[in-house]
Chains A and B, each alone.
Chain A
Amino acid sequence: MMKDILKRLTEKFPISEIEEQRANMIFVTMPKINAVQCISYLKQFEGFTHLVMLAAVDYIEDGIFQLTYILHNYELHTDIGIRVQIDRKQPVMESIHTLWAQARTYQQELKEMFGIDFPGSPDIDEPFLLEGWQNIPPMRKDFDTLKYSQETFFPRPGRKHYDPQKYMKEKLYPDKEPE
C-alpha cells in the first residue's frame, strides 16, 4: 500500500530523498515550492487526514531550517514525514492553516521559536509563549541558553568543583621546576 502511495507521489512531485524509518513511517524530502501542494494532495486523495505535527530543525552549519510535516493515515496507520529545507537567512514558508485549523498554532510557535514566517497565518506575529522576548528566537542553535541564564540570573555563591584528575596532579605530582 505504502509502496503505491510512494510511487504516485514520486510521479507527481520532485522527491529528492526517501527514507524508510520503519514499515509504517516514511520520510520524504522535497523542494519548498512543492511541499504544501503535496501535503494537500496527501490529505485529499491519499487519506493522510491527520496533521500530527509540524516541527523545525535548525541546521545552522548548513544555513538551513528543516521543516518536517508529519501526516498520519488512519486507514493504513501509516505516517509520512514531508521534509522541506528552507533558507535560514530568509525563513519564509507557505502556511497550511487552511488545511488544518490547528496548524496555525504550530506556525505561530515556529515564528516565535525559530523566526520562521508563515505569511497569512492567523495571529502569526503575536507572542505565543514568550511575552516581551527581546532576544533572538530561542530555539535557534545560536541561542545559548547557558550563557543567557548566566547573564540573566545569578549563580548560587559557594559552589566550587574540583576536577579529580587535575586535583590529583596538583596534590600528588605537581610540575616541579628545580630552582
Chain B
Amino acid sequence: MKLKDWIAPFYVWKRAFEKPFTVPKPLKERPGSPRYRGFHQNDLDTCIGCGTCSSICQNHAIDMVPVDGIETHKGDSGLRPRIDYGRCCWCALCVDICPTTSLSMSNEYVWIDTDADVFRFIPGSEKKPWDSFKKGYKREEEYQLVDPRRIEMEMLPPEERVKSFLEMVKGYSREQAQKEADRCIQCGICTATCPAHMDIPGYIKAVRENKIEDGLKLMYETNPMPAMCGRVCTHQCEEDCALAHTGDAISIRWLKRYLADQVELDDYSKAMPVDILSNGKQIAIIGAGPGGLSAAYYLRLLGYEITIYEANDKGGGMTRYGIPEYRLPYDQLDKDIEYILSLGVEIKYNTRVGKDISFQEIHKESDAVLISIGLMLPYKMEIPGEDLPGNISGLEVLDKITRGEKVHFEEKVAVIGGGNVAMDSARTARTFGADVTVLYRRRIEDMPADEEEIIDAQQEKVTFITQAIPLRIEQAEDKRLSFIYGLAEMVDQGEGKRPKPVLIEGKEFSIVVDMVISAIGQGADFSFLPMEYEKLFSRKNQLKIDEFFRTRDSKIFASGDIANQTKDAISAIADGHRAARSIDHFLKNL
C-alpha cells in the first residue's frame, strides 16, 4: 500500500461544499420533459368513443363510460375513456393507437389527494390543471401502430374504362384483402352507421383469419345480397370508420366483395346449410328489387311460402336496370338472386301487377303483401321544350343499355342532375364515345352521387357545369337542341341545412347539344293500386307507413326506396329485413 492509498478516504471531503443535486420541490418546480408520459388529456370533441384505447390497455385500466352532454350518434358511440390510475402503467399505448389522436398525455406528474377514488377519472370531462398543457407525450407522426394507408384497389385506367363495359374494379387478392382487414381495429363504430347494421368487424375478422365461409354466413345474417353490395353499396360505414379520422378508412365494401367473390354459388349451400320448415303461409312481394329480395330471403328462412311478382324479365330492380355493367356485372347480381331463389322462393317474371295480375287477387290469396316497387318513374324537369326529340331520361338510357337495346348517342350530350343516375348515364354515354357535359343546380360537393363516381367521371373527362338551373330547351339547327340554363348563387339556409341555389336574374347561358339526358330524380308508380286503396296514401304518391312497415291495411306492408329517405340499395335491404321480421311478428300474433 502506498501513502496515497491511505489518504484516499479523505478525498471525499473535497465535495463537501458542492451544490446538492436534489431539487427542493415544492419550492422549486421541476416540470416533466416535453415528451414525458404524465397524466392523460382527452379532447372530448375529437374523441369518438371507439374504445381502442381500452382494448390495447394491457392492464384493463380503461373503461368506456357514457359522459353527460355527449350524445350517441352515427360515428360516435357517446362513450369516453375513464382511466383507473390504480392500474395505469403509463405505457401510453392508448395514446399510440388512438385513431383520432384525441388522447394524449401531459407532462404533469404530481397529483395528490386523500381520496383514492378520485384517481379513477375521465380525462377531458373532469377538469384538471393539466388539461391545457401543451407539453407531454403525443404520438409522433412517423410512429403509427395501425397503418393509416389503405391497400389501393386496382382499377382499369380511365382511358380503358371508356372503351367498354368491363368491370372496372379488379377486386382484392387474398393477400391484399388480409392486409387490408388487418388494419381494422374492430371498434364496431361502423355497425351503427350501416343501414343494415351488418356485423362489419365480424366479417372483416373472417377475412383476416381466412374463414371465408364463416364470413359469408355472417354477412347473410343481415344482408342477403353481398356480391351486389360489395360492389355498389354507398358505404356510409366507411365515412364513419374510426381510421378515417387521421388516415384512410378501411375498404369495408371491397372486403365484403372479396368475401362474396371467394365462394362459388354452388358452394353457398355448403357454407350456409339451411333447414327450412314450411309453415304454409303465403306472402306476396311486389317487386324483385333489393328490398323485395331481402324480405323474401328472411321470410323464406322463417318458413313462409314466397311469391315475388316482377314486371321485368330479370330480378334486381334498380340495381340491374339503373346501374351500368362496369360497376355491377350482371352475373354477380344473378349470383345473389339465384341463391335466394334456390331456397324455394318463387318469382314470377314479366308479371306486372295491375296489368298481368290484379292486385285484389294477390291480396286475397296471400296472408300478407309486401309492396317493394322502388322508384322507377323519372321526374320531369318541368321546363319548356322538354318533349322535343332528343330528350331522354337517364333511367331510360340505363334501362335500354341493360336490356341490350341500342341507344344512339350523338356527338354532344348534356346530362342534367347530380345523382348516381346522372353519373351513370354520363359515364355510359362516355363509353359510347360521346362528349358529355353534366349540369347541376348546386356545387360539386353538394352532389348526392357517390364521391368516387364523381371522381371517376372526372377522370373519364366528363365536363361539369355547376350552379346551372335548367330554364328551357329550344330547337337548334340540324336537329340539335339548345339547352338554356341560368346561373345560380348559393344562398345560405342557416346551420344544418344545405344552401339553396337561387337564380341570378339575367345570367343566361346556353349549350348546344345533340341529346339531353335528364336525371333529376324519380318517383314511385302506384298506378297498379285500385282506387279502393286510396286510404293507404298520406299524400300524393306517398304511402303511409308506420315504423314496422305496416300500411293502413293490416295485410299490406311496404319497404324499399318507397319507404325510406336514403333510397339506396343497402337501406332497401335493411328495410326488407325489418319488414320481414315485422310481417313474421304480425302473422304469428294474429
Direct contact of A and B (CB under 8 A): yes
B65 and A168 within 8 A (CB): no
Knowing A156-B84, A177-B585 are in contact, say whether A164-B197 is a contact too (CB < 8 A).
no
A165 and B188 within 8 A (CB): yes
B84 nearest CB across to chain A (Å): 7
B54 and A161 within 8 A (CB): yes
Knowing A160-B63, A172-B72 are in contact, say whether A165-B191 is a contact too (CB < 8 A).
yes
Chain B contacts for A168, CB-based, 8 A: 72, 77-78, 188-189, 191-192
A171 and B72 within 8 A (CB): yes
A164 and B50 within 8 A (CB): yes
Residue of A nearest to B64 (CB): A162
Q: Interface code A153-168, partner B: CB below 8 Å = 1, 0 otherwise?
A: 0001011111111011
B196 nearest CB across to chain A (Å): 10
A167 to B189, CA, bound (A): 10
Check if A132 is an interface residue, CB within 8 A of chain B. Answer: no
Knowing A156-B84, A168-B77, A171-B72 are in contact, say whether A162-B188 is a contact too (CB < 8 A).
no
Report A's interface with B, CB cutoff 8 A: 156, 158-165, 167-169, 171-173, 176-178
A178 nearest CB across to chain B (Å): 5
Chain B contacts for A173, CB-based, 8 A: 192, 197
B116 nearest CB across to chain A (Å): 9
Residue of B nearest to A171 (CB): B72
A4 to B201, CA, bound (A): 52
Residue of A nearest to B199 (CB): A165
Knowing A165-B187, A167-B72 are in contact, say whether A158-B585 is a contact too (CB < 8 A).
no
Report B's interface with A, CB cutoff 8 A: 49-51, 54, 63-66, 72-74, 77-79, 84, 86, 117, 120, 187-189, 191-192, 197, 201, 547-548, 582, 585-586
Chain B contacts for A177, CB-based, 8 A: 585
B249 nearest CB across to chain A (Å): 17
Chain B contacts for A162, CB-based, 8 A: 63-66, 79
A155 nearest CB across to chain B (Å): 10
Chain A contacts for B50, CB-based, 8 A: 164
A176 and B78 within 8 A (CB): no
A161 and B64 within 8 A (CB): yes
B564 nearest CB across to chain A (Å): 14
Knowing A169-B192, A178-B582 are in contact, say whether A163-B51 is a contact too (CB < 8 A).
yes
Chain B contacts for A159, CB-based, 8 A: 63, 84, 120
Chain A contacts for B188, CB-based, 8 A: 163-165, 168
B493 nearest CB across to chain A (Å): 27
A159 to B61, CA, bound (A): 10
Knowing A156-B84, A159-B63, A178-B586 are in contact, say whether A165-B201 is a contact too (CB < 8 A).
yes
7 CB < 8 A contacts A-B: A161-B65, A164-B49, A164-B50, A164-B51, A164-B188, A164-B189, A169-B191
A172 and B63 within 8 A (CB): no
Chain A contacts for B586, CB-based, 8 A: 178
Give 19 A-B pairs besides A167-B66, A168-B189 with Cβ atoms closer than 8 angstroms: A156-B84, A156-B86, A158-B117, A158-B120, A159-B120, A161-B63, A163-B188, A164-B77, A164-B188, A165-B191, A165-B192, A165-B201, A167-B77, A168-B78, A169-B192, A172-B72, A172-B74, A173-B197, A178-B586
Most buried by B among A158, A162, A168: A168
A157 nearest CB across to chain B (Å): 9
A158 to B447, CA, bound (A): 49
A160 to B78, CA, bound (A): 15
Chain A contacts for B77, CB-based, 8 A: 164-165, 167-168
B365 nearest CB across to chain A (Å): 24
B84 and A178 within 8 A (CB): no
A75 nearest CB across to chain B (Å): 40
A167 to B64, CA, bound (A): 10
Chain B contacts for A164, CB-based, 8 A: 49-51, 64, 77, 79, 187-189
Most buried by A among B50, B51, B585: B51
A160 to B66, CA, bound (A): 10
A165 to B187, CA, bound (A): 7
A163 to B192, CA, bound (A): 13
A163 to B188, CA, bound (A): 9
Chain A contacts for B201, CB-based, 8 A: 165
B91 nearest CB across to chain A (Å): 19
Residue of B nearest to A170 (CB): B72
A159 to B84, CA, bound (A): 9
Knowing A164-B64, A167-B79 are in contact, say whether A172-B73 is a contact too (CB < 8 A).
yes
Chain A contacts for B65, CB-based, 8 A: 160-162
A177 to B187, CA, bound (A): 27
Chain A contacts for B63, CB-based, 8 A: 159-162
A33 to B223, CA, bound (A): 59
Residue of A nearest to B197 (CB): A173
Residue of A nearest to B74 (CB): A172
Chain B contacts for A165, CB-based, 8 A: 77, 187-189, 191-192, 201
A172 to B49, CA, bound (A): 15
A171 to B50, CA, bound (A): 15
A178 to B51, CA, bound (A): 33
B588 nearest CB across to chain A (Å): 11
A167 to B548, CA, bound (A): 23
A159 to B72, CA, bound (A): 21
Contact partner of B192 (CB less than 8 A), chosen from A160, A172, A178, is A172
A178 and B187 within 8 A (CB): no
Chain B contacts for A178, CB-based, 8 A: 548, 582, 585-586
Q: Which 5 A-B pairs have CB atoms at the shortest separation, nearest pair first?
A: A165-B188, A164-B77, A171-B72, A168-B192, A161-B63
Chain B contacts for A169, CB-based, 8 A: 191-192, 197
B298 nearest CB across to chain A (Å): 14
